[in-house]
A and B are shown apart, each in its own frame.
Chain A
Amino acid sequence: MRNALRIFFVGGYISYRALFGFLSLWIFIPTLVLTPIFQILLFAYIGRAAGGHSDQFYVVGNAIQYSSVPCLFAMTQTIAEERFWQTLGPLLISPAGRLPLFLGRALPVIANGLVVAAFSLFAGGLILGVTLAGADWARLAPVLLVAAFSCTGLGLVNAAIGLRVRETAVLSNVFVGILLIFSGANVPLSELPGWMADIGRALPLTHGIEAARAVASGHSLASVRGLLGREALIGVAYSVGGFFLIRFFEVQSRRHASLERV
């Protein structure tokens, strides 16, 4: 148990440090600090041009939707980078338990997703004049956390596919695009065709965005617990699915000797 905890915390921390050792501040600031702000501005202005919703609608929606970028990319890169540096083989023949090994890598990713979403919300709101009171932030924090957790679950699925597919960055971008359309970040589910709304409800972030909008409008955390519960459940489902997919592809890649095909 103690060993599993060590792999979970220390392994996850080292893996994340390694990732951001390669991804320097010159990448972190443009991609995870500036771009989400520009995305918020883009959609807020499109909303103004179209006569859509309030600025707050787009600030909250896009800040949370953008957390999918760190959650999906970072989670996937923790495996893809192992392959690139040819350390994936030694990692997978180690006797370390797979659950702490891979879930440990998810923990800092969730924290990063939370920070990116919170900063985007703050900066985007500041620029567009959307002010949130201190109490709103306190209620929003758990919502952002659950949304980041849920999306990291999808990141785990993406990481598993990365054991078989080389173009993991393309795949991550496709997932980000799907979330942009289906999660209700810019178009409420009620304005999407029924089948699209149904897909949206099965994706991470959708319920988190809805809950965050309600909380930012002054609703209590208790009033959105149903949405938060669904978001967390979706996160658990994707995480479990991702974990089993990793195990499956690990076995497959051993069988087909395709583990380090770069």
Chain B
Amino acid sequence: MEFNLLINAIIAGLLLGGFYAAVTAGISISFGMLDIVNIAHPAFIILGSYIAYIVNVNLGIDPIIVSILVLPAFYFLGAIVYQVYYQAFEKRGQESLRGLAFFFGLLFVTEVSLILVFGVDYRYVEAAYIGPSIHIGLIDLPLRMLVPCLAALAMFTVLQLFVTRTFIGRAVMAVSQDQLALRLMAVDPIRIKRIAFGISIATAAVAGALLVVIQPVEPSVGREYIGRVFAICVLGGLGSMPGTLIAAMLLGVIESLTSTFYGPSWAPAVAFGFLLLTLAFRPAGLLGR
């Protein structure tokens, strides 16, 4: 029986990890590749959750489809945020103090605005795959977790292909390493960064929809994800997509084991311990260069 519990905890952790990978993908781009410490990312994720929720409740459209429909809107939102960030901080070399404060302000303003509009009640969505689960022998696969995990992996694959196979994707990788070389190839680094930041915010729309499928959402849930996403991003080796995926799976399994054997109220502390240990012993990440 104990073995059964262990196996299911690990499976649940892997499914959770897939979802964490989707949540972290945006941070891997903005923090890992562009060196923009976007601590407001979780707020954009919650915004995505609420949009999925509103459309789902009013029109009955599947939350994941909603998130794909709003991708362009999130992309433009991200591009605008980057433009403001660039003009106000990056250009003046003030990103370390005031840029961080700016993102912190965004995080806070988004959260408080959502509280003012929706209150602090938990919101949830309706979809056919929320509820049933597949049983294979000892293993339980709740569809509520399996579908987000698969969607996350699909998004992750697309992003990985984008950064490794397309010109703009490679330019994004290049902008983090050598801006001058990029300029010499007649590419505007600011434009590339704007595009990349837009994409990173666009992933938040999908991650938000997946989040609201997995668990009911209220405005301050985002804060619990700050520790998680940065822990995963750093352990994954800052901007390495495969590294991020492995780190996300690892954190998912550790959290799942903790909540199965010690109780779910301890789960938020796990990510932080994970982050501190990573920073103390392996700051270059698992697959770090």
Q: Decide whether A and B assemble into one complex.
A: no
Interface residues of B (CB under 8 A from A): none
